[in-house]
Structure 1
């Protein structure tokens, strides 16, 4: 499987993510990431990886919709801000545009 991010194992991760584990699942391509302590984890060959984008990727075709409370898209805590699940990926406000995570 090809991923958009390099393989970075989250060491010392004893918690098993899954349904009812208390962490928000986030659909990401063919798998689920789990929001945990402001970042995302995904299961990978018996361990957990950090599943975070590298760099800046502007969502150039984002419509005029403004994400926020009550917008209809699920919010996911990501570090110091909220991402919004929209069309199978996460959007984050960045200046006057939205980034695609």
Structure 2
């Protein structure tokens, strides 16, 4: 999955284990949920951690929801569920990888 390199231009807050924002494991890094979007550290600045394309999560039988046991993260106008190092978002009857 390709992730866009979209720098978050004005971000004076330093995310970390005690910053108060939800840490979300995401592949080889950690995103921080902040104001409905996710930030990832990158070369001395923070990026918006967003997928570069629509990526359907194939063979995902599990239904995410409030009682599924996976952490829920507000992401824009929807909720992502953290599962196995990536985020799942419901989309048109299937789950996308975020």
Aligned residue pairs total: 98
Shift of 1:49: 0.9
Task: Report the structure, 1 or 2, having the larger strand content.
Answer: 2
What CA distance in whole angstroms lies between the structure 1 residues aligned with 2:34 and 2:13?
Answer: 10
What TM-score does the superposition give when structure 1 sets the normalisation length? Answer: 0.90
Task: Summarize the alignment of residues 1-101 of structure 1 with structure 2, pairs less than 5 Å apart.
Answer: 4-63=2-61, 65-101=62-98
List gaps (5 residues or longer) in structure 1: none
Could you tell me whether the CA contact under 8 Å between 2:2 and 2:53 is conserved in 1? no
1:43-62 CA-partner distances (Å, limit 9, x unpaired)? 11111111111221111110
Shift of 1:8: 1.5
Shift of 1:86: 1.0
How large is the Cα RMSD of the aligned pairs? 1.3
Q: With CA pairs under 8 Å and 6+ residues apart, which has the higher RCO, 1 or 2?
A: 2
What CA distance in whole angstroms lies between the structure 2 residues aligned with 1:96 and 1:6?
Answer: 25
List gaps (5 residues or longer) in structure 2: none
What TM-score does the superposition give when structure 2 sets the normalisation length? Answer: 0.93
